Amino acid sequence: MKMKQKMKQALPLFILATLSACASDDSLTLEANFSSIQNDLFSKTCARVGCHTGTSPTAGLNLDAGQSYANLVDKLNAAGTKLLVNTGDSSKSYLIDKLEGASNISGERMPLNESAISQSNIDVIKAWIDNGAKNIGEE
């Protein structure tokens, strides 16, 4: 009986700890360069099975390392209505709309089924775009 009671007491703490771990991206700290955005965000969060990877990625957007830059920068979104990354202007970049969950997006806010990217990290991505969206090695 004591073991059952201890488990009942521990369960809410376990649930709280689990939800807290899933509820933020505090461990994600991006730098305003493509290398950081690729390695710390796209490769870990977006380029996974069933999402933006492989030969049939979601929305036709492969974010695997070595392919993502060419697939994002100055390329139209799947609907053909807006550039994914509009070099020099994050306010006209569909990638930012998707990360912020803007009202003009098709589908859901990204990343899907994950905690939202913090606004501070989105601001870092905006800074990278606004500063010319340079590729690895060009910075």
Q: Determine how many CB atoms are found less than 10 A away from the CB of residue 116.
A: 16
Query: Tens digits of per-residue pLDDT, 49-105?
Result: 888 988 989 899 999 999 999 999 999 999 999 999 999 999 999 999 999 999 999
pTM of whole model > 0.85?
no
Q: Which residues, including other chains, have CB under 8 Å from residue 115's CB and lie 6 or more apart?
A: 22, 23, 24, 25
Query: Tens digits of per-residue pLDDT, 11-48?
Result: 443 333 333 333 345 567 899 999 999 999 988 989 88
